[in-house]
Each structure stands twice: as structure tokens, then as C-alpha cells.
Structure 1
């Protein structure tokens, strides 16, 4: 269901932090159609890692710089801008819901919802709730330190502060893949809440984001009327509104649109597979690929123009030309 941002806010969702948790949250929210922004210019625990060896999909591991570039490329391709600025504080506006996001360099922006996704620092959330609830004090070697209480958010990322969600720091998010999963889970809750605000009811608001093979649709399920009967059977009886109401019909139509658009045919599948390979290849270092024992197979997946430009000395490691373009 495509969402639109209220004119009262610059963004529907502001994500603080661009590591695995923040990038994952940004991708999910942006793909839902929520106007989303990621702010990323702080300390990153991922960048402190020498080499990441347990992130699925990279059998020999992956250097952190490449993974970081891939994460941010994915976020931006989903339609979510990444702003290289540090969030100094969050505060409530004088009236109404939402947040004012104060930035170190840029002008403040407003957001309907905020996802905190910074691994180490939660100080920018001070003032949104009682500090004894949000922060904990610890003593070590005679020194007293105060840090964000990782037990403060609920399992789904919600907090006592309405519309504030925490993906990180949180308990159990020390590993990059765990943090990415946490960001996705929290984003799903953000999407559910946004749908409820748009008139959906909880039973139908928890959707999925995936595409399926068109061949899975037989003649019966290729018909929108069949999907409508399915919706009425599963959600109509317990719906909190009358099935003939505009609200019910609007939500029903949105759900059917989502379901039917999630099926793609073989040509579209092939096109997306090719685009995915080319996008991935654009992040590979041609010198490292050529030097590898499987270099020829990897080169087949890379864009021919990029490889040719590199071999001619016209491109750098990531396929940029001498002018940096």
C-alpha cells in the first residue's frame, strides 16, 4: 500500500543510523512507500570490524567497506535518501505528534516517526522520557558511566514514547546480521502502525514484502474477484467496520492490489535477476576479480562496459572514469 507523508512533516519516517539495522529499516519502510530518510554520520561499530565473516551470502566473508557501500546502495535504490549529518537531539514539536530532528550541520527536519538505530549512542533521545527509564548507570574500576538502557524498547522496537522505535542499541544486536534482522522487524512494526493510522485494522495491517512467480497463480487465483472472496472470508467477519463502508472497501482494494502486484512473470524475473547481478558487480574491484581463481566466472557477471573501461585504463576500482564520473 503506497503511503503519503502528511504535509505536517518533512518525512514519515526518520532513521537515525546507517549501519545494518538502520539500512534494513530504511529499505523496508521506503519500499512500503513511506517517505523515509536515513541520517548517518556517527561512530559505526561495523566500520570497526576488520573483516566480516558471518554475514550470510558471502562464503569467504566480505570487507566492511564493500558491505557498507552495498547497504547504502540498497537503501538509496529503495528510494530512501541518506543524509551525511549527525542527529544531535530529538524533541517533540510545540503542538501535535511527531518529532523535530535537530542536526549538527543542517536545518532541523520533522518526522512522524523515528527509528533509533545507532549501536553505541542514544544520548540524542534524552528528554523524550524519564532519564531513569531510558538510561542506566554502571560502575567499573571506580568510574561511573551512563548509557542507554538496551532493555528499554519492547521486542518489536516500540517504546513508552509514542512513535519512537528502537532498533539499536538493543539487547542481542552485537552481530551485523542480527542487527539487520532487528531493523527489519522494527520496520515491519512501523509499517503496521502507519497502515493502522491510514485506516487499516491490525488483522490486515501486518503485510509482507516479497515477489512471487506468476506461474504459481492458476486460472482461479489470477482473478481479482477470487482474491476479494478470500479477503472477505478471512477478514470480513471480524472487521471492526461494516463491509459496505468506504473504509472497508478502501482497505480491501489496497490489500488486493498488493497481493496481485506481487506476482511477476518470467521476463520480469529475468530482467530483475540481470539488474541485480549488474548492481552487485558494480561494487566489485576488477583487479581483485581478475586475480581470483574464479575470476572468469565473476567477470561474466560484471558489466562489459565497466570491465572494458578498466582494462583500457579508463576506470578505477569501482568503474569510475578518470574524471570521477
Structure 2
């Protein structure tokens, strides 16, 4: 998806730095990277998800899924979207003079980013230099008082009192369920996208976007004409826009919105091509013998196209040795 690049004239190493490579972090990174924001995800390799023996309530896996495979899929998705994955731990986050952030790493050289998404359950002390005691809450455990990152510090969409800082984790409740953590990361990622668009001249009514694709066949004949989309935008936004509809800013935002909306509709050939790529990408993370044993050769062939099967199963690797 083509989108806005929020980088301020190359002042920062990244537009977005995500701290944590689990479900929340990768989910946020997918949204920001697909928008065109240069995104890095720092993963120290110790996500709380890895404490789970087998995940049985993540939608889309009827028999559950082993954590290692799911974690690999998270990372593959983030990388495909355009994220850079860095295996390192962020030890502290501080402000820079350019209204961005400097991140000190455990092993690598410090990096800078315009925005930071916190998406890890570890204690949050690495953020304290940004807002001090406001980020900390005290709770009692076994008769002793302990300080920890305030779970309600961020709003529901992940935004915080610190401009450019978003929190997808830790948050109340969501951290203990992978699918809820992924949803929290998606909300934070969308909030980052909206804020980056506003920095680029968009306004509240249009900055909130939707990242999806639809079937071209759903378009009525009149909507195949670009001018119909222009009229739609003007009817919906011109009266309430904070800028003159004849201004360069209004027209630039309108053009970007119209192009994104129109490009979201794809034809049958593209739908088929994307389905094939999706099957191949998924197949690359599956154990071939287990897949064939689990559903049977014929059922497997019916469920996935031949090219996807052949991408990970050679003809002589099936259990009976007869090939596919």
C-alpha cells in the first residue's frame, strides 16, 4: 500500500521504532510499514509468548499452533510488510533535540526514531526518562510494595501524554492473551499512521485510514471513474475541512486518499496471484510430512494449489514415496 512517509528530512534513522517483536509489536509494525513508514522492530528473543507450551485460542488455527511456528510467522509477516527486524534489547528511550527519540541498545549502536511504540511486557523502566513518575504505579504483593509501569498510562488507541510515544504493551489484561495483544498492537499502529498523516498535512476527518483490499467486482460502473471518487471526497470532506478546498494542501490530501481508495480494489487475476503467494508463504513454515499425514494427500491438494505444495514438498518426500 502506497502511503505517507513521515520522516522529517532524514533527521531520524527510522520513522517508527517498535520495542518488542511479539504479537503486539509485529502487529503494530505491519500497519506502519505498509503505510510506507520506515519501521524497525527490536526483539530481544524473550517474548512472554514463548512461555506458552501450545497456543490453542489464536483464531485461524483450529487445532492450535506451536509457539515457534506462530512466532516465525509474526516475524515473516513483519518483514514482508517492510519492517527491519533487529535482535537486540532496548535499554532506554530518551528525547532528542529534534522532537524524536534516541534508543540505547544493549549491544548495538544507539538509533533515533520519530516515533516509538512500546510493545513488550518487561517492566517499562526503559521509558521512565520520558515522563518520570507519571508512568509508574505502586502495587502491593505479598505485603511488599512494588513499582511497575502504569498499565493505564496509554489511551485505548495506544497514544500517551508524550508526543510520539505509543504503548501497545504493557496494558490491562491484553498482555496475557496473544490475540488481544495483536489487536492492541494494530490499534497503536493505526494511531501512528494517522498521526504521521497529520504531520504531512492531513486532518482528523481523513487521517484515519483503512488498510484492506476488496474485489473489483464490488465497484458499480460509476465508481470505475476517478472523478466519481473526487466528487465523493469533496461531498464528504470539503465543507468541514480545516483548509480551503481550493488549496494545494486539500487537493494533495484528496489525491492521496482517492488513489489509496481506488488501489484497494483488485481484479480476479490479482486475487488469485495473492492467494497463491499467501499459500506459498504459509507452506514455507509447515512441516510437509505432518501436513500430509494430518489431512491426507487428496485433501491437502484440494485445500492448496499445486505450486504451493511443490514449494515445500519434493515429489519423493511424501510418506508413501509415490510423489504428489
Query: TM-score normalised to the size of structure 2?
Result: 0.92
109-118 or 4-13, larger mean C-alpha shift: 4-13
2:322 paired residue number: none
Distance between the aligned counterparts of 1:250 and 1:244, measured in 2? 10
Q: Check whether the contact 2:138–2:145 (CA below 8 A) recurs between aligned residues.
A: yes
1:250 paired residue number: 252
1:291 paired residue number: 293
2:86 paired residue number: 83
User: Paired residue for 1:311, among 271, 295, 317?
Assistant: 317
Secondary structure in 2 aligned to 1:184? helix
Q: After the TM superposition, which parts of structure 1 deviate over 4 Å for at least 4 consecutive aligned residues?
A: none
1:119 paired residue number: 121
Alignment of 1:42-53 (within 5 A): 42-53=45-56
281-290 or 45-54, larger mean C-alpha shift: 281-290
Distance between the aligned counterparts of 2:298 and 2:100, measured in 1? 52
Q: Check whether the contact 2:121–2:169 (CA below 8 A) recurs between aligned residues.
A: yes
Distance between the aligned counterparts of 1:296 and 1:82, measured in 2? 38
User: Paired residue for 2:228, among 204, 226, 229?
Assistant: 226
Q: Which runs of 5+ in 2 are unaligned?
A: 320-324
Distance between the aligned counterparts of 2:140 and 2:234, measured in 1? 58
Q: Check whether the contact 1:214–1:263 (CA below 8 A) recurs between aligned residues.
A: yes
Query: TM-score normalised to the size of structure 1?
Result: 0.92
Does 1:273 pair with 2:275? yes
1:235 paired residue number: 237
Distance between the aligned counterparts of 1:268 and 1:155, measured in 2? 36
Distance between the aligned counterparts of 1:97 and 1:267, measured in 2? 45
Distance between the aligned counterparts of 1:218 and 1:144, measured in 2? 63
Cα deviation for residue 42 of structure 1 reads: 4.8
Does 1:9 pair with 2:15? no
Distance between the aligned counterparts of 2:66 and 2:284, measured in 1? 15
Cα deviation for residue 309 of structure 1 reads: 7.1
Secondary structure in 2 aligned to 1:130? helix
Secondary structure in 2 aligned to 1:127? helix
Cα deviation for residue 305 of structure 1 reads: 4.4
Label 1:156 to 1:312 Cα distance change in 2 as closer, same or farther (>3 A): closer
Once the two structures are superposed, what CA deviation does each residue of 1:288-313 show, in whole Å capped at 9, x if it has no partner? 12332435433563431421177299
Q: Which has the higher helix share?
A: 2
Secondary structure in 1 aligned to 2:146? strand
Distance between the aligned counterparts of 2:233 and 2:311, measured in 1? 48
Secondary structure in 2 aligned to 1:221? helix
Once the two structures are superposed, what CA deviation does each residue of 1:245-273 show, in whole Å capped at 9, x if it has no partner? 10001001000110110000000000000
Secondary structure in 2 aligned to 1:60? coil
Does 1:36 pair with 2:42? no
2:135 paired residue number: 134
Cα deviation for residue 216 of structure 1 reads: 1.1
Alignment of 1:139-218 (within 5 A): 139-173=140-174, 174-218=176-220
Cα deviation for residue 228 of structure 1 reads: 0.4
